[in-house]
Amino acid sequence: MSAVIKPKTDPILSVINIEVIYDHVILVLKGVSLEVLDGQIVALLGANGAGKTTTLKAISNLLRAERGEVTKGMILYRGERIDRSSPAELVKRGICQVMEGRHCFQHLTVEENLLTGAYTRGYIASGVREELEKVYRYFPRLKERRHAQSGYTSGGEQQMTAIGRALMARPRMILLDEPSMGLAPQLVEEIFEIVRELNRKEGVSFLLAEQNTNIALRYADYGYILENGRVVMDGEGRELAENEDVKEFYLGFSSAGRRSFRDVKSYRRRKRWL
Amino acid sequence: MPTQVAFFVEVLAGGLLAGVMYALVALGFVLIYKASGVFNFAQGSMVFFAALTFVSLTERGWNFWLALAVTLVVMVVLGVVIERTVLRPLVNQPQITLFMATIGLTFVLEGLSQLIWGSQPHGLELGIADVPIDWLSQKLNINISQFDIFAAFVAGALVAVLAVFFQKTRIGRALRAVADDHQAALAVGIPLQHIWAIVWAVAGFVALVAGLMWGVRNGVQYALTFTALKALPVLLIGGFESIPGAIIGGLIIGATEKLAEVYVGPMFGGGIESWFAYVVALLFLLVRPEGLYGEKHIDRV
């Protein structure tokens, strides 16, 4: 067992006031800033359509394939601007995205899926086999299923394949989009446990977008809440979980007992984030 | 062997072997369609361009292998150039736009090849005569061209090489990954544009092989571009995304075409060979619109 890596204080990733426009007209992010310190797990929370996925895709530069564009602000990775780098360059430099809905290569076997993750590392280099074994150590289930066609494996196995595939590139930072989507609660727990382990043992930083605020805040060191393309709140994971407004809006319970629907509505109107 | 049976075997074998030739052309379509979702209408003119380049070089006294190597290089470069100049600027455009672009490309390529090499037809010899195999005709009274057999071997070898390339190499795996999911391929750091350039280069190589085989059969001339149209029913039957499909589809088309011509043709006064393949393809469309080996969409329930 390797020693626990203490979070250092310098940011591995800084997103500074970015604005994202799709198709030249649709303004999706209206000035989002956030920071991930080296060795941290940071959660990006918010409802459907708040801009979580767009933020991640802006960082990994997958936006351009969807006609999106960062029009303002900048993104720094270890102090260097990366908003003009291609996704392949970013993977080489250590930022990998695991997309929402897994996106495994359905007709490839589990092992072939993992191997594609090492594409940027060139021709079957010495390290790739070892890397594969390491992924299998974290996800023993993938080893059992290594020769199965990915499209026929379960949702949990596909999520593991997707994370494992990203690990094959030896990333320093993983952008994990909605890992809990469509999975049974037990599996979600399992996946998050592995994320924490990867974070502690391998020193991989995570920025994860989640709708499941409850579990995300249990594992995250820090959290940002997005609403309508803006960061409306941020804080330490525990602090956010205790916050009354977060409880009210995202954790689905309130401290003041049951309220009528009408009360909630007016409450929401008053407490609009700005 | 009774003459009737011998004749049937001869027609069937001739048809199957002709089918292999169709499959050769269809392969080029499948490669590009699988990797980039583009139906490359220009595949036929690539076949023509490759054959014409090769035959023109040999007629200028070049050594066979040198001419082959140079033509191969030309086709690979052509593939990369097409990707750069035609497809890259159109990335993320609707499929129909890309399809129209390849139609434009067809005419550019046809014009270009005739501009460079002239428009007169050429004969092509690969050292294997297009004559029946002696002992088959003497012993069994079946006439099968030895060149057809040779072409079948070449096609088989080509498919084997492609299969190894796709299954065993890092680039091949990346190609299949891109075919499966563009977005995910981007996310793991596979540069789509490199992969597309490689696919076009490979399709150029396949076009060269098809061009040589068809060139020997029909001569190297403008009509070679129409072989592309013969590949269409093959693709409809075999599925646009499957290499085995292209082979099986080719065999089915080749065999039914020849058998129909010989056994059904006389009822209509002959001449049905040229359009019967399309009838078969249409019937297939009604029964199995995705083709025999069309990509199975994996749906988990």
A106 falls within a domain:
no
Residues of B with CB below 8 A from A62's CB?
183, 186-187
* B135 belongs to a structural domain: yes
Cβ-contact B101, B80 below 8 angstroms? no
Whether B296 maps to a domain, the answer reads: no
* Residue numbers of the domain that contains A78: 11-94+171-270
By Cβ distance, the residue of B92, B181, B295 closest to A105 is: B181
Range with the lowest mean pLDDT among A23-32, A265-274, B176-185?
A265-274
In this structure, is residue A216 part of a structural domain?
yes
Based on the structure, what is the number of domains in chain A? 1
Does B289 have pLDDT greater than 90? no
In a domain, A103, yes or no: no
Structural domain containing residue B127: 3-287
pLDDT of residue A9 exceeding 80, the answer is: no
- Nearest C-alpha in A relative to B92: A65
pLDDT band at A1 (very low <50, low <70, confident <90, very high): very low
Does B162 score more than 50 pLDDT? yes
Q: DSSP label at A270?
A: H
Q: Specify the number of domains making up chain B.
A: 1
What CATH number has the domain bearing residue B197?
1.10.3470
The structure tokens listed for A20 are 């994202």
Probe site for chain A from B181, B188, B196 (most A CB atoms < 10 A) = B188
- How confident is the model at residue A257, as a pLDDT? 52
Q: Is residue A182 part of a domain?
A: yes
| Interface contact flag, B186 A87, Cβ < 8 Å | yes
Of the pLDDT bands very low, low, confident and very high (cuts 50, 70, 90), residue B299 is low
pLDDT tens-digit readout, B20-30: 888 888 888 88
Q: CA triplet B41, B203, B104: central angle to 5 degrees?
A: 25
Question: How high is the pLDDT of residue A253?
Answer: 62
Q: Report helix angle B64-82 to B43-59, nearest 10.
A: 150
Cβ-defined contact of B187 to A119 (cutoff 8 Å) = no
Name the closest residue on chain B to residue A89, using Cα atoms: B189
**Residue A117 in contact with residue A168, Cβ under 8 Å?**
yes
Q: Whole-angstrom Cα distance, residue B27 to residue B243?
A: 6
Q: pLDDT confidence of A210, banded at 50, 70, 90?
A: very high
Residue A211 within a domain = yes
A62-113 pLDDT, tens digit per residue, is 988 888 889 999 999 998 999 889 999 999 999 999 999 889 998 899 999 9
Q: Which one of A98, A99, A107 has the shortest CB-CB distance to B180?
A: A107
Sheet containing strand A222-227, edge to edge, reads A95-98, A173-177, A205-210, A41-45, A222-227, A230-236
Q: Please report whether residue B292 resides in a domain.
A: no
Q: What would the pLDDT profile of A159-189 be if each residue is shown by its tens digit?
A: 999 999 999 999 999 999 999 988 999 999 9
Residue bearing the bigger pLDDT, B237 or A205: A205
Find out whether B47 and B207 touch, Cβ atoms under 8 Å. yes
Is residue B89 situated within a structural domain? yes
pLDDT at B300: 54
What's the token pair of residue B259? 């058998």
Instruction: Please state the rounded mean pLDDT for residues B279-296.
Output: 78
H-only helix segments in chain A: 52-60, 87-93, 110-116, 127-138, 140-144, 155-167, 185-197, 213-219, 237-242, 244-246, 261-270
Residues in chain B within 8 Å Cβ distance of A98: 187
pLDDT value of residue A252: 67
Mean pLDDT of chain B: 84
Q: Is residue A18 part of a domain?
A: yes
- Which residues 6+ apart lie within 8 Å of A205 measured at CB? A12, A13, A36, A37, A38, A39, A40, A41, A42, A172, A173, A174, A199
Distance separating alpha carbons of residues A142 and A206, to the nearest angstrom:
22
CA distance A49 to B296: 32
Residue B7 backbone dihedrals phi, psi, to 5 degrees: -65, -45
Helix (H) or strand (E) holding A16: strand A11-22
Beta strands A173-177 and A95-98 are parallel
Q: For residue A5, which phi and psi values (nearest 5 degrees)?
A: -90, 120
Does residue A249 belong to any structural domain of this protein? yes
Residue B163 C-alpha, separation from nearest chain A C-alpha, in angstroms:
14
Asked whether residue A149 is assigned to any structural domain, the reply reads no
ipTM for the predicted complex: 0.82
- Residue length of chain B: 301
pLDDT band at A32 (very low <50, low <70, confident <90, very high): very high
Interface contact A103-B190, CB threshold 8 A: no
Residue for token pair 């401290």: A255
Give the tens place of pLDDT for each residue, B189-238. 998 888 888 998 899 999 999 888 888 888 888 888 887 778 888 888 88
Chain-chain contact of A91 with B184 (C-beta, under 8 angstroms): no
Q: Is residue B160 part of a domain?
A: yes
Q: What is the pLDDT of residue A125?
A: 61
Residue B123: per-residue pLDDT: 79
CATH (domain of A181): 3.40.50.300
> Under 8 Å CB-to-CB from B134, ≥6 apart: which residues?
none
